[in-house]
Each structure stands twice: as C-alpha cells, then as structure tokens.
Amino acid sequence: MILQDKVVLVTGGTSGIGRATAIAFGAAGAKVVFSGRGEAEGEKTAKLIRETGAECLYVRSDVSSEAEVEALVEKAIATYGRLDCAFNNAGIEPVFKPLHEQSIEDFDKLMSVNLRGLFLCMKYEIQQMLTQGSGAIVNTSSISGLIAFPQVSPDIASKHAVMGLTKAAALDYAKQGIRINGINPGFIATEMNDRILEQLGTTIDSFASTVPMGRVGQAEEIAQAVIFLCSDAASYITGQPLAIDGGYTVS
C-alpha cells in the first residue's frame, strides 16, 4: 500500500474524511493535490500533509462548476505532470424532511455537488488517465448508497447514483488500465456528522449503540481503505462498493 511519488487528487479535502485521506496519502509517499471551498481549512490541511514530509498543493474549487473542476485537474497535471489516483469525496449534507416537503432548490443543490460534481471530476480525471494508460479512482458514496433511511430521499438517491456511476464507469475503462471503486462509510466521527446529529436531536453515543461493533468509525479508518483501493494491493478490484460501517448494513 505504498504510493511513493504517485500523484493523487482529493476533493472535499479540507475536513473530515477528505482531510484524513489527504494526510494518509502524504504519509504513503504520494504528492497530494486537494480541493475544497474553505481556504483557511485548506491551509490547515496543507500544513498537516507537509508534516508527513509530503509535497502538496491546495486548490480552492467548487466541484459543481465544470470550469473549476477542469481547472483543478489541469492544475494538478501542470504541477506534477500526471494523475495516478483520485479520491472524489466532495459532498454536502442532506435536509431532513419527508419527500413531499423537500424543496426543488435543496434537491438541486444536493445533486449539483453529490452527483454532478462527481460526474465532472471523473470526466476530467479519466481524460488524463487515458493518456497514461493507468489510474485508480475512488468515489465516496455512503451506506445510503446501499440501503435507505427515512426523511432524506434526495440524499439516498444521490448516493445510489454515485454507485451507479462508479459501476458503469468501471466497465467503460476496465480494459484501459483505470480502476474505479466506491466506498460506503457508515456513521463516521466528522464535523458534518456532528451537524447531522444536531439536526436529528440525538447523540453520537445513541447512534453508536445501533452499530454491531458498538462504536462509530474514525475518518482515519476510511482513509486506509481508500489508500488500499488506490494501491497495487487492489489491482484486481474494480466497480465495487466497500461498506465501512462496523457491520451496520449486515445487522
């Protein structure tokens, strides 16, 4: 699982799972380009990556904008000359309401990041990887891409769609040296999930009691799964969902 001198791109890399994974890529020897919308948080992530001894570059980018995604990938290539791995992790949290109360504005906002953003990232990443004849992409879905929960129908739809895109794209490029997989985290201790708990009026301990392993996951545990899927250790894995949920979806 060593990624020495590989060039990796991480979206949504300024907090939570994205930050933990960007740091883990650096620790594995990669050169890390990462994006997010918060510049102060980007600078903090960059400092943490450099503390591993790795090179990194922060690019402020909104994945719902095609021009910004194209510019992000071009910046990575202009800086480091290639793109070996990509972790498409940018996403936003759902609004908790039954379907008939969901607004079209909230629906469109969520889809523009969770789904359109993922499509755009893959489009431009794959264009570069095709010129190299190799590459590994990991897309963040969720256990919401495997099962359903009430009150968040647009989010469930977006996360299922992420896995559909992942599987179809994996077939498109399986013979061209590009592997594409998805991760499906359960409840992970992140700032986003803290906000979700607040919306739901519950606590992290209450949620942990529903998980067979009896605890929530840590962002660093997700990061190691992403490193694995991007590494040569996963050379025969493509088009697959990987649930990282403490056993929640099999309980």
Average pLDDT over every residue of 116-138: 98
Q: Is residue 206 part of a domain?
A: no
Q: What's the whole-model pTM score?
A: 0.97
What confidence tens digit (pLDDT) does each residue in 8-37 have? Answer: 999 999 999 999 999 999 999 999 999 999
Q: Using one digit for the tens of pLDDT, what is the confidence trace for 155-208? A: 999 999 999 999 999 999 999 999 999 999 999 999 888 888 888 888 888 889
* Structural domain range at position 16: 7-188+218-245
**Is residue 241 in a domain?**
yes
The per-residue pLDDT for 19 is 98
Alpha-carbon distance of 121 to 86, in angstroms, equals 9
Q: Answer whether residue 118 is part of any domain.
A: yes
Q: How many domains does the chain have?
A: 1
pLDDT score for 197: 86
Who contacts 4 (Cβ-Cβ below 8 Å, separation ≥6)?
A: 28, 29, 30
CATH number at residue 152: 3.40.50.720
Please report the pLDDT score of residue 144 as a whole number. 97
- How much of the chain exceeds pLDDT 90, in percent? 92
